Amino acid sequence: MVNYSDDALNQLFHALSDPTRRAMLQALAHHPQPVGALAAPFEISLAAASKHIRVLERAGLLTRQVQGRSHICQLNAAPMHGGMEWIRHYEQFWHHQLDTLEHLLEAEDAATADPESRRDAPST
């Protein structure tokens, strides 16, 4: 498994755990936006929006540039790679588990399939 720092993964998953922050990231995927524009779709104050933005900044998911009185936020999707690699490890685990289950079910089906045809089959 790829080894990413626990702190970086914790911050990433914490940042992504909130629907408001995920929506902000989705908006930033289109183009950089000022804090006010990021806060506008939500019934939250600019102070609350700034708290969400700080969480996203700590996770490295966005950068903020000050242009005069405006704070312009831009998406940085690179830290998501660590989360994707962590999840990919468990995706492989579940594929293996489901393949095993499929083989067990197929074997069970074969063992219980049409008893008439098994009666007529020659015994070994």
* Cβ partners under 8 Å of residue 60, min gap 6: 8, 11, 12, 76, 78, 79
H or E element at residue 70 = strand 70-75
Q: Considering the chain, what percentage of its residues have pLDDT values greater than 90?
A: 59
| CA separation for the pair 48, 53 (Å, rounded) | 9
Q: What is the pLDDT of residue 79?
A: 94
Under 8 Å CB-to-CB from 32, ≥6 apart: which residues?
A: 72, 73, 74, 75
Q: What is the pLDDT of residues 10-31, one digit of tens each?
A: 999 999 999 999 999 999 999 9
Q: Which residues pair with 67 in a beta bridge?
A: 70
Q: What is the mean pLDDT of the chain?
A: 88
Give the pLDDT of residue 89: 84
pLDDT mean over 31-53: 94
Q: Looking at per-residue confidence, does 106 or 113 come out higher? A: 106
Per-residue confidence (pLDDT) for residue 111, from 0 to 100: 87
Domains of the chain, by residue range, sit at: 1-110
Q: What is the CATH number of domain 1-110?
A: 1.10.10.10
**Lowest-pLDDT range, 9-18, 38-47, 88-97?**
88-97
Query: What are the angstrom distances between the C-alpha of 36 and each of 22, 54, 76?
Result: 16, 14, 19
Tell me the backbone φ, ψ of residue 64, rounded to 5 degrees.
-125, 130
Q: Could you report how far apart the first and last alpha carbons of the chain are, in Å?
A: 46
State if pTM tops 0.75.
no
Distance of CA 123 to the CA centre of its chain: 53
